Each structure stands twice: as structure tokens, then as C-alpha cells.
Amino acid sequence: MTQSVTTPPSSSKRRSKWQLLMANRLAAAGLFVFGFILVVAILAPLLPMPDPNMTDQPNRLLPPLSQGHLLGTDHLGRDILSRLIWGTQISLIVGVSATALAALFGSLIGLVAGYARGVTDSVLMRFVDMLMAFPYILLAIAIVAALGPGLLNALYAIALVNIPFFARNIRGVTVSIRNREFVDAARLSGKGHVAILFTEVLPNVLPVIVITMSTTVGWMILETAGLSFLGLGAQPPTADLGSMLGQARAQLFTAPHASIIPGLMIFALVMSINLLGDGIRDVLDPRLRSGALDRPLSVTRIARKTTPAATLADAPVLVVEHLSTGFANGGAVTPAVRDVSFRLGKGECLGIIGESGSGKSVTALSLMGLVASPPGVISGGAVYIGGQDVLALRQQELIALRGARVAYVFQDPLTTLHPLFPVATQIAEAVMAHNHVGKREAHQRALELMETVGIRDAAERASAYPHELSGGQRQRIGIAMALANDPDIIIADEPTTALDVTVQARILELLQNLRRERGLALLLITHDFGVVAQVCDRVAVMKNGQIVEQGDTASILRDPQHDYTKRLIACVPELGEGHAFLDRVRPLFEEAKP
Ligand SMILES: Nc1ncnc2c1ncn2[C@@H]1O[C@H](COP(=O)(O)OP(=O)(O)OP(=O)(O)O)[C@@H](O)[C@H]1O
């Protein structure tokens, strides 16, 4: 008996970069404050203000709110508001120009060093190391002392001391990109190094440069103000925020407003730029935005709108009801699995089949709360193991079930096995995770398990490292680890995809035998109907995060209801079919074209 469900996929709205930036309240506040300061600084020539350099000795050190001087006057009777606005304009121009210069030269050094490697890399990076060996503000002071005080020289000094920051960051990213396949492909297509650097590598590095600029411009303004404060930047009568602060230092106690006002402006400017910079960084780096770079929680975040029954009477070993899982992305949740329900009995095998991205792995990982969170979130449904809703359990209780009652076998054991420990040690570790046994006993059990999964000369192979075993042997070790605590359910996520056909057949046979001998419930995830036909009693077909059809394998193979199922079945070639396979499959896909 097969059931077929067809529901149009619901689309989730993706928010624009601007909306995402505005959703970040701190970044929005930073943008508002910085935008206001910027507009006022740009409009400085048009504003009805006195000349910022016009002295008026009789009216020196007037307090704020004095007649004609909203923010008072300084020690030479100059209008503080006017000097503040003009000074902010200068500080901004110098800070932004220094950032642009540091970004330009630093990124160029990083790009060339990271791409060329070898001697070029060593020479350039030693120069950068030399710059970094000095405390940067001391180096900036030394440079200005050598070049002579003045705003332009302060700008060069600040730019120079910040070059290493960009060079190191960009070199690191370039090194990882230069070995990627698309760069190799460009090289093979005959492109020259310069063209590859600017058309293949640079576009991938650009977001990092923008992010680094947005997070450093505030500090550069602060450093410029520091040099001017020491008398090495803006020279009298020109005002910038640092020189205003430096000149008002002598009247700190008699007329504190003259130093507090530029101090507050530096604070507001740097703070707003940094908040905005952090916001821009989060928006440009999608992994930061979704939280994917945060340390994941030990259990996927569960945010169910309704609470299902905590227990289910007379339930088979695994019951999944209306499971929905999505990924949070800047406030919105993009659904990956929607309203998925299935059942699995003792000793039974259910295949979950579907194309890449249909939600098979997310379904499998959701069962034990293993979807990385953030960004993962289980937004609805229940998972009953032995009749109990495990999503309602306390975290520690759910974690205790992992490996003990439900075990996973993943696609590529080379990435899941620890490369630095012998395989038997890793199986023994899995045994000890849930049993109070000593190392020796666990090791003995590991050897037995290796024999159970068909590894010949288990005692000899015990001390092998994962890279010393073949793909098939590694997958057997993965299965041995899954069996370590006699689980009720094994979830095998494409366990044979990385293997060639003969080894695949042997691994599937092993899983079949284990299932029969131990009464294991097997949830087999695959994209290959051939595998389903060989192993599974029942099959659920997934598309766009939903189960579109499920039933017993023989019925579905004989009489598929859903077009998608028909196409998946048609994709399995028959032995000796040759060209006839293509003739048979092509019309099915022509029909499916929109
Ligand atoms: N960390 C993540 N952040 C956002 N979306 C994700 C994340 N992980 C998976 N997805 C999305 O969830 C959907 C389901 O992915 P899933 O890995 O379950 O597919 P699958 O059917 O197992 O594919 P495959 O056979 O290629 O492994 C996909 O659209 C995928 O893009």
C-alpha cells in the first residue's frame, strides 16, 4: 500500500542585506549616529557658523550655551562647535584615507604573498613581521618624527603601521583559495598569474577586505587623534578632534567642556563606526549571520509551537510525527524538513530516498537533536523512541540515548574517524562512553566488534590508523562503532556512497545480516533506488523537505504514484541495458521540464 502526498513547497522570504543590517539594532544605531555625524561634517561649509580659526581673546573659555557660541569657546576664544564640525571632517578624511591606503597596500602584499608562496612570500611576510615587531603607536610616532609633524605625515604613518593587519588577514585567505579547484581550472585554461589573481582570487577575498576595513576605520580615526593629541598630526590653527583635545588639556580643570566635547565626539564617532562595522561584517559573512561559526549547542534548539503527547502507547521502536526542522538566518527560519512522518519497527529497514538537498540528512540528524544549532531549529513534531518523545527529554537524557539506543553510520568514515588514534582505540572509546568497563575490557570488546563486522586479522588491524585502511574497512570500523553499545536503531546516512560497487554490495550485506541477527531497526538514507530495492522493506521518498510518497518497497517499485518517484526509479540502469537506458529515461525528464 503506498500513500502519495503532493503539497507545493512553501517558499521562505530571503531578506536583503539592507534589511538584515537594519534588523541588527546596534548596527542600526551605529549607522544612525555615524550618518548624522557624516552629514553634518559634509555640510560644514554651508552651515551658518563662525570661522573655526577666528580668535576672540575677550571671549575665551566661554561655557556652553553662551550667546552666539552653543558649545562655548576655547582658550583662544574660537567657537568650539565650528571647530568640532570642521575637526570631525578632517579626522574622518584622514582616518578613511589611512584605512584605504592600508587596505590597498596591505591587501596587495597579502594577495601576492599568499598566491606566489616560496621566496616572495617569505620576503614580504618578513617585512610585515618587522613592522609588527614594534608597538604600532610607537612606530607611528617614530615615522612622524622622521617625516616631520603634519596631518599628511600622520596619515602615512597610521596607514603604514596598519598594513600588516591587512596583509596577514588577506594572505591567510589567499593561501586557502589558491589551492581550490576553480583556480586550478583557470590555470589549466591558460590564464596568466596576474589574471588569475585579479579575476579568480580577488573577488573571493574582497568581502574579507571590506569587513577588515569596516572594523578598523574606527581605530584609525582614534590613532590619528592620538598623534594629533601629541602635537604630531594637525598643526595650528587647523583643528582635528585629537588636536582640540590636546590643546584643551591645560584647561582640563578650569574649562572642562573644551576637552570633554571633542572627547565625546571621538567616542561617538569611533563607537558608531565600530558598531556599524560589526553589523556589516555579520551581513557580509553568511556564516556569522546564521551563527554557523558559533559553538553549536549540544542539542538542536527545539522551538515547537504545540507540545505533542509525551508518550505513545503500542508504538514501534521509532515513530516520527510531523517533524519540521529549519535553519535560522538573520531572524527568518528557512525550512529544510517539513511535516515528515514515518514509523520503523524492530528488525525492519526503512529507506529514505531523495535527490541531494531534499532533506534526508537533516531528517536523520533531527531524530537525536544533532542538527548544528545555531542555525538549526526543530520547529515542530515529535520523535518517539520506544514510545517516548525524545525531543521532550532533558538535554542530558537525550545525549545519553545517542550511541546507546540510536547509533549513526556516516558517509565518509575518513572524516568522522579521528586521524590520530588507532581504530580499535576509537571503538573502545565508544564502548566506554556508555559502559563502566576498564580499558582492557573495552579493547577486547573492540576486537570482537571488528570481527563481527568482518575485519580479518582484527588483532593485527587494531593498531592501524584510519588512513591505513581501505574505504570499505573504514566503513566497517564505522559500523563497529555504531554497534558498540547494542543500539535498537542504526541510522546509516549514505553509508556506501563513497565506496565502489563491489565493496558497496559487501557493506550492504553486512548491514542486512546485522539487522537480521540482532533485530536492529535500520534507517537507511540513500539517493539510489538500487540500494533501496536490495535492502529496504519500506521506503519514504523525499522531495523539497517533504515525504511525497511512502510504502513497502515492492509496491512502490511496481506501482510508483508520484512522478518524482517514477523518475528516481527510472534512474537505476539495468545490467546490459546500454543505450536503451538513456532512451527510456530521457522522456521522463523532458516531461518534468517546466
Ligand atoms: N547549516 C545549514 N544552514 C542552512 N541550510 C542548510 C544547512 N544544512 C543543510 N541545509 C539545507 O537543508 C536542506 C536539506 O539538506 P540535507 O543535507 O538534509 O539534504 P540531503 O537530502 O541529505 O542531501 P545530500 O544527499 O546531498 O546529503 C538543503 O536545502 C540544505 O541547503
Q: Ligand 1 pocket, 21 CB below 6 A?
A: no
Residue 292 CB–ligand 1 contact under 6 Å: yes
What was the pLDDT predicted at 49?
A: 87
CB of 256 within 6 A of ligand 1: the answer is no
Q: Find out whether the beta carbon of 371 lies less than 6 Å from any atom of ligand 1.
A: no
Q: Where are the domains of the chain?
A: 19-46+77-284, 301-405+487-592
Cβ(327) – ligand 1 distance below 6 Å? yes
Whether 1 shows a pLDDT value over 50: the answer reads no
pLDDT for 11: 40
| Residue 227: how many other CB atoms lie within 10 Å | 28
- Residues whose CB is less than 8 angstroms from the CB of residue 365 and which lie 6 or more positions away in sequence, other chains included: 300, 371
Smallest CA-to-CA distance from 24 within 273, 284, 276 is with 276
> Which three-class secondary structure state does DSSP give residue 64?
coil
pLDDT band of 177, cuts 50, 70, 90: very high
pLDDT digits (tens, 9 = 90+) for 567-585: 888 776 665 565 665 566 5
| Cα 463-468-469 angle, rounded to 5 deg | 95
Query: How is residue 396 written as a grid cell?
Result: 542530558
Instruction: Give residue 336 CA to ligand 1 midpoint distance, Å.
Output: 7
Closest residue CA from atom 4 of ligand 1: 327
Position 578 scores a pLDDT of 58
Whether residue 259 has its Cβ less than 6 Å from ligand 1 = no
Q: Which residues contact 216 (CB under 8 A, 6 or more apart)?
A: 99, 102, 162, 165, 277
What cell does 295 get? 559553538
CA distance 88 to 33: 13
Q: What CA–CA distance (Å, rounded) separates 239 from 213?
A: 25
Query: Closest residue (by CA) to atom 26 of ligand 1?
Result: 356
Atom in ligand 1 nearest the alpha carbon of residue 354: 21
11 lines ligand 1 (CB under 6 A): no
Among the atoms of ligand 1, which is closest to the Cα of residue 372? 1
Q: Ligand 1: which residue has its CA nearest to atom 6?
A: 327
Residue 300 Cβ inside 6 Å of ligand 1? The answer reads no
Reported as a pLDDT band with limits 50, 70 and 90, residue 293 is: low
C-alpha–C-alpha distance, residues 4 and 512, integer Å: 27
Which mutation among 287, 289, 327 tests ligand 1's pocket best, with the greatest number of atoms within 8 A of CB?
327
**Strand pairing partners for 319?**
343, 384
Whether the CB of 375 sits within 6 Å of ligand 1: yes
Q: Class of 301-405+487-592 per CATH?
A: alpha beta
The pLDDT tens digits for 38-67 are 999 999 999 988 888 888 888 888 999 988
Residue 364's nearest CA partner among 502, 482, 454 is 482
Peptide bond into 237 cis (omega under 30): yes
Q: Which of 356, 366, 377 to mutate to test the pocket of ligand 1 (most atoms within 8 A of CB)?
A: 356
Q: Does the CB atom of residue 490 touch ligand 1 within 6 A? A: no
For residue 585, count other CB atoms closer than 10 A to its CB: 15
Q: How far is CA 512 from the centre of its chain?
A: 37
Centroid of ligand 1 to alpha carbon of 300 (angstroms) = 15
Contact at 8 Å (CB) between 487 and 430? no
Q: Is 356 in the pocket of ligand 1 (CB under 6 A)?
A: yes
Show Cβ contacts of residue 315 under 8 Å, excluding neighbours closer than 6 positions. 343, 384, 386, 387
- Determine which of 158-162, 231-235, 351-355 has the lowest per-residue pLDDT on average: 231-235
- Which residue's CA is minimally distant from atom 31 of ligand 1? 357
36, pLDDT greater than 70: yes
- pTM for this prediction: 0.61
Strand (E) positions, 517-588? 521-526, 538-543, 546-552
pLDDT in tens, 230-258: 888 888 888 888 889 888 888 888 889 99
Residue nearest to atom 24 of ligand 1 (CA): 356
pLDDT(381) > 80: yes
Would you call 192 helix, strand, or coil by DSSP? coil
Joined together, the cell numbers standing for residue 294 give: 558559533
What is the position in ligand 1's atom list of the atom closest to the CA of 411? 27
Q: How many C-beta atoms surround the C-beta of residue 13 within 10 A?
A: 8
CA of residue 327 to ligand 1 center, whole Å: 10
Q: Verify whether ligand 1 is closer than 6 Å to residue 9 (CB atom).
A: no
- Write down the mean pLDDT value for the chain: 86
* Distance from C-alpha of 234 to C-alpha of 200, rounded to nearest angstrom: 41
Q: Is the CB of 326 under 6 A from ligand 1?
A: no
The verdict on the CB of residue 359 being under 6 Å from ligand 1 is yes
Backbone angles phi, psi at 548, to 5 degrees: -95, -20
Calculate mean pLDDT across residues 285-314: 75
Nearest CA to ligand 1 atom 20: 357
Q: Does domain 19-46+77-284 bear CATH number 1.10.3720.10?
A: yes
Chain-centroid distance of CA 575 in Å reads 43
Q: What is the pLDDT of residues 187-206, one digit of tens each?
A: 999 999 999 999 999 988 98
% of the chain exceeding 70 in pLDDT: 91
Cα gap 553→349, rounded to integer Å = 10
Instruction: Give 198's DSSP letter.
Output: I
